[in-house]
Amino acid sequence: MSSGSVMGIIRRSLNLRGLVGPVLIVMILAMMVLPLPPILLDIFFTFNIAMAVMVLLISMNTTKALDFVAFPTILLMTTLLRLSLNVASTRVVLLEGHTGGDAAGKVIESFGQFLVGGNYAVGIVVFAILVVINFMVITKGAGRIAEVGARFTLDAMPGKQMAIDADLNAGLIGEDVARKRRAEISQESDFYGAMDGASKFVRGDAIAGIIILFINLIGGLIVGVLQHNMDISLAAKTYTLLAIGDGLVAQIPALVISTAAGVVVSRVATEENIGEQLLGQLFKQPQVIMLTAAIVGMLGMIPGMPHFSFLLLAGGMLWLAYHLTRKSEKVAEQEQEEAASTPLISEAPEASWEDVAQVDVLGLEVGYRLISLVDKAQDGDLLRRIKGIRKKFTQDMGFLPPSVHIRDNLDLRPNGYRITLKGVEIGSGEAYPHQFLAINPGNVSGPLVGMQTQDPAFGLPAVWIDEAMREQAQIMGYTVVDPGTVVATHLSHLINTRAAEMLGRQEVQQLLDHLGKVAPKLVEDLVPKTLPLGVVQKVLQNLLDEGMHIRDMRTIVETLADNAIRSQDPYQLTSWVRIALGPAIVQQFYPSAQELQVIGMNKELEHVLMQAMQASQNGIGIEPGLADTVLRESRDAVQLQEQMGLPTVMLVPGQLRDLLARFLKRAVPNLHVISHDEVPDFKTIRVTAMVGGLA
């Protein structure tokens, strides 16, 4: 192995960036224990000031709190750095302070002499004011904001998690995006909790600064008078200026860091940094600036007031208001010119056969107030959401659904929408732009003020609320979604329940063509040699109609090809396909369970149903009294399974599966019927509810 490759391995293993933290800790501990020369104190004090300024600038340029997620740790490290510098400088001041003002370095001397004019009384007052500002105002306020933010963020976590789950189920986001958003919610809660704790370090640092100042004053007097035989007035002046310089050089960076903490936790997350927010919101309305200028100008004309400063500021604000007004007028003129240059709609041509349009397979009609949801120019994102729904449906169900044709309909109510399948309405509802739908999942802590309604997709009780109440609703346990998500979730639910109706012959042929790219011989042997395309379509529709996906087209086509000679009845073929797909069917209801907890059927009732099926001419007739008994007990069994939190699956003999599945489909829609033949041999069965008897 060459020396270059060895060095490369060593460099990769060292990971220099990972050494920054340990090196900084060692440096801080060393400053507390080892004596430092004045030149090193100057360097470290300068580094401390530079670090504080850099942290403040970074906090001013973040757009959200999580952009600076390392801030609590930085807050702790900078606090420890200041305290260690206080310890190191105190040692030097007490040991060498009698030699002059530069005994502890030029930085401390400059802060003691230049900033307070060499007057130790003024220095004490300035230091006390800085400590009060830092301790009583900035740090206390930032700590309170962090505490409240942590509590509110934690309370809102369940609602935010349910909103992410709703978007994921509606196909609006993928697993990776959902995982990232959940991580952000967790990080946000951890961040505010850490900021709440880190603020206590800064408050403790302010208190420690006061105590250290008095220790230096008293210790300096004792050392100067008793050990170095200095005059008490000279000792007081010398050590007081050194102590004040030491205190100021530590408290000013502490004040800057505390200000940065307040900026980080007090800002509302937007796409703009602090500077852009201030300029965009303070100077947004020229009328307000003009009114302020008039008030300041009137104050400046009062006798005895400083006319120059007041009138100068009023004049500057009037100029700014005029400039902003002219700018807004120019923008308005440009918009009018663009609107005027838009060509008029040309005269409509004569009607032709091109105007004969087919009925849309899947359509979405919206009232005029909902046009903004589907208009990209108005930041409407419903089109993007619908694309996500179609992609998720394709991945889950195994075929590409038809495109959703969107148009406005003036016959609808302004906030209404309608979802159509082959021109027939299959769902409708209302959505309100600039409001949010707070859905009650069943465990909320109280009612909300707003327009009472129901979630159009699942019928849950809900309330339309203003945007200002969104966070409160999430804290109370509501799932809060925007109008676009309401429409998208409703559409997603309907296309999943109506999947069989959307699978036409064109879609089946496309499925077979897609499979033919990897298994051409298999498709060639099935259609049209063995089975007509219509029979294959009916089998696939039967599977979709019972909530099954058709992603495993290879198994489906192989089973149809093997059994087409025995029968061409779509329902009999569907039964054989279900047996072949048995493991997938069971996995759909029991993803990872070895034991299947199912609803069973009494043997005597099974025997009676088989006799009734054999006696019926068409094989599907059930005597009314017996039908009523089966329906009633099936509903009771489903209710019992749901109370136990188990899948609502009924296990019956293969001869009865088709009969019961079709019979119970509309009366008990959330019951799934499977046969013994569909259960893999390696699974065990436990009956937890019984139809026609006790479990």
pLDDT in tens, 455-508: 999 899 999 999 889 989 998 999 999 999 999 999 999 999 999 999 999 999
Residue-by-residue DSSP string for 517-553:
TT-HHHHHHHTTTTS-HHHHHHHHHHHHHTT-----H
Q: Which pairing describes strands 435-439 and 479-481: parallel, antiparallel, or unpaired?
A: antiparallel
Residue 403 in this model has a pLDDT that exceeds 80 = yes
Q: Please indicate, yes or no, if residue 29 is contained in any of the structural domains.
A: no
- CATH code where residue 444 lies: 3.40.30.60
Q: Please indicate, yes or no, if residue 50 is contained in any of the structural domains.
A: yes
Question: Higher confidence at residue 36 or residue 570?
Answer: 570
Taking residues 275-297, report their average pLDDT: 74
Q: Measure the N-to-C terminal CA separation of the chain; round to a whole number of Å.
A: 72
Token digits of residue 664: 């119970």
Q: What pLDDT score was predicted for residue 494?
A: 93
Instruction: Give the SS3 label for residue 379.
Output: coil
Angle ∠(186,188,194) on CA atoms, nearest 5? 100
Peptide bond into 528 cis (omega under 30): yes
Q: Which residues contact 65 (CB under 8 A, 6 or more apart)?
A: 188, 191, 192, 264, 265, 267, 269
Whether residues 269 and 211 share a domain: the answer is yes
Share of the chain above pLDDT 70, in %: 82
Taking residues 543-553, report their average pLDDT: 92
Whether residues 450 and 426 share a domain: the answer is yes
Q: Please indicate, yes or no, if residue 10 is contained in any of the structural domains.
A: no
Q: What pLDDT score was predicted for residue 379?
A: 66
Q: Please indicate, yes or no, if residue 250 is contained in any of the structural domains.
A: yes
Residue 342 in this model has a pLDDT that exceeds 60 = no
| Structural domain count, the chain | 5
Q: What pLDDT score was predicted for residue 1?
A: 47
Banded model confidence at residue 540, pLDDT cuts 50, 70, 90: very high
Which of 580, 603, 625 is a domain's end point? 580
Q: Please indicate, yes or no, if residue 37 is contained in any of the structural domains.
A: no
Range of the domain at 214: 42-278
Which of 473, 497, 521 is a domain's end point? 497
Of 316, 257, 315, the closest CA to residue 58 belongs to: 257
Taking residues 535-559, report their average pLDDT: 93
- CATH code where residue 624 lies: 3.40.50.12790
Instruction: Give the SS3 label for residue 403.
Output: coil
Alpha helices in 225-285 (DSSP H): 232-266, 274-282
Polymer length of the chain: 695
Kindly list the distances between the CA atom of residue 610 and the CA atoms of 617, 620, 666, 689, in Å, as whole numbers in the listed order.
13, 10, 21, 21
Q: Cα(301)–Cα(361) distance, rounded to whole angstroms? A: 75
| Summary mean pLDDT of the chain | 81
Q: Please indicate, yes or no, if residue 561 is contained in any of the structural domains.
A: yes
Task: Give the pLDDT confidence of 369-390 residue by residue, as tens digits.
Answer: 898 888 877 767 888 889 889 9
Kindly list the distances between the CA atom of residue 5 and the CA atoms of 11, 12, 15, 26, 73, in Å, as whole numbers in the listed order.
10, 11, 16, 31, 36
Q: What pLDDT score was predicted for residue 463?
A: 95
Q: Which residues contact 319 (CB under 8 A, 6 or more apart)?
A: none
Beta strands in 378-482 (DSSP E): 404-408, 416-421, 424-430, 435-439, 451-454, 461-466, 479-481
Token digits of residue 439: 């859905």
Task: Give the pLDDT confidence of 182-210 residue by residue, as tens digits.
Answer: 777 777 777 777 776 766 776 777 777 77
Q: Cα(270)–Cα(280) distance, rounded to whole angstroms? A: 12
Taking residues 619-647, report their average pLDDT: 85
Q: What pLDDT score was predicted for residue 16?
A: 60
Q: Please indicate, yes or no, if residue 24 is contained in any of the structural domains.
A: no
Whether residues 615 and 681 share a domain: the answer is yes
Phi-psi region of 36 (alpha: psi -120 to 50; beta: other; left: phi over 0): beta
CA 140 to chain centre: 30
Helix, strand, coil content of the chain in percent (nearest 5): 65, 10, 25
Which of 459, 481, 497 is a domain's end point? 497
Question: Cβ distance 126 to 116 under 8 Å?
Answer: yes
Q: Please indicate, yes or no, if residue 585 is contained in any of the structural domains.
A: no
Kindly list the distances between the CA atom of residue 325 and the CA atoms of 290, 317, 443, in Å, as whole numbers in the listed order.
10, 12, 52
Query: Letter for the amino acid at 102?
Result: D
Query: Letter for the amino acid at 190?
Result: D
Whether residues 307 and 407 share a domain: the answer is no
Whether residues 308 and 380 share a domain: the answer is no
Whether residues 50 and 85 share a domain: the answer is yes
Out of 102-106, 356-360, 400-404, give the one with best mean pLDDT.
400-404
Instruction: Give the SS3 label for residue 365.
Output: strand
Q: What pLDDT score was predicted for residue 13?
A: 46
Whether residues 294 and 270 share a domain: the answer is no
CA 446 to chain centre: 24
The lowest-confidence range among 107-116, 445-454, 535-544, 638-647 is 107-116
pTM: 0.56
Taking residues 19-24, report their average pLDDT: 71
Whether residues 271 and 299 share a domain: the answer is no
Token digits of residue 383: 């089109």
Task: Give the pLDDT confidence of 558-593 residue by residue, as tens digits.
Answer: 999 999 999 999 999 999 999 999 999 999 999 888
Residue 89 in this model has a pLDDT that exceeds 90 = no
Q: Cα(554)–Cα(327) distance, rounded to whole angstroms? A: 66
Question: Cβ distance 65 to 188 under 8 Å?
Answer: yes
- CATH code where residue 553 lies: 1.10.8.540
Query: Letter for the amino acid at 187?
Result: Q
Token digits of residue 52: 């504080």
For residue 360, the 8-state DSSP code is: P
For residue 677, the 8-state DSSP code is: G
Whether residues 541 and 422 share a domain: the answer is no
Whether residues 58 and 189 share a domain: the answer is yes
Whether residues 507 and 486 share a domain: the answer is no
Whether residues 396 and 445 share a domain: the answer is yes
Q: What pLDDT score was predicted for residue 415?
A: 92
The lowest-confidence range among 218-227, 268-277, 355-364, 539-548 is 268-277
Share of the chain above pLDDT 90, in %: 29
